[in-house]
Amino acid sequence: MTEPNTPAYQLRYQLTREDVAAFEFLPRELVGSEKLWLFGPILVLGAAAGFFEDQLGAVLPWDPHARWGQLVTVLIAIALGYGLSMVLLTWRTRRRIANAPLPATPTRIDVYPEALFVSEDGDENRSYVWSEASINDTDKHVFITQGTRKPVIIPVRAFASLEAMQAFVSEAQGWRNAYDIARESIEENGEVKS
C-alpha cells in the first residue's frame, strides 16, 4: 500500500513523433465543422456533376440526361468525392502529426487515484482528473483525454512490460468508474452510498 502523498505510478519517457501519430490515427468521430472534411468534397463534386450535366454529355459514354444516366453520374460523383475526402483527411492527419510540438524534455507523469499530473518542457503539473477523463488503449499506447485539452500519450516503453501497462489501464479505468458510480448514486439518492 502506498502512502497518501505517494503516486501510485511514476512514469518517465521521451515522447516521439510516432507516439503522436498513434494518437492522431485513432478512429474518432468528426464533430462540428470537421464534418466538412468528409462531406465537403462529396457535395462539391455532386453539385459540379449537376451543374455541368450538359458538358458531361459530350464526354460520358452514357446519356447523363436519362434517369439511369443521372443515377450513374451521381454515384460516380459521390464515389470520387468520398475518395477525395479520404485523401484530404489523411493529409490533414499527417500535417497535424508533422506540426505537433514535441517536448524537448522527458515527460513526467505522477498518477494518483484522484488525478494524474503531467510535467514536460517546464509546463509543471498539468492535471487531469479521472472523473472527467477518457481512457483508450492499444497494444502500444495509453491515451488519456479530457475534453479539448492536450491528450496524454503514454507509450508502452514507459512501463516495465505490456502487462504492467495493461494493469495501469485496468486500475485507471477502475478509478474512472468509481466516479461514475458515485455520481449515479448521488443522482439517485442525493448521497454517496458506502
Residue ranges covered by each domain of the chain:
9-16+102-189, 32-99
Q: Give the three-class secondary structure for 120.
A: strand
What is the C-alpha separation between 139 and 108, in angstroms, rounded? 21
pTM: 0.73
Query: What CATH topology corresponds to 9-16+102-189?
Result: PH-domain like (2.30.29)
The pLDDT confidence band at residue 187, using thresholds 50, 70 and 90, is low
Residues in the chain: 194
Percent of the chain with pLDDT over 70: 87
Q: Cell numbers of 170, please?
A: 485496468
pLDDT tens column, 101-129: 899 889 999 999 989 999 987 666 788 99
Q: What span, in angstroms and rounded, lies between the C-alpha atoms of 46 and 53?
A: 11
Mean pLDDT over all residues of the chain? 85
List Cα–Cα distances, 75 to 48, 50, 69, in angstroms.
Answer: 13, 12, 10
> Above 90 in pLDDT, residue 4?
no
More confident residue, 57 or 149: 149
Mean pLDDT of all residues in 116-143: 88
- Give per-residue pLDDT as tens, 60-79: 777 767 777 777 878 888 99
Task: Say what the pLDDT of residue 123 is.
Answer: 67
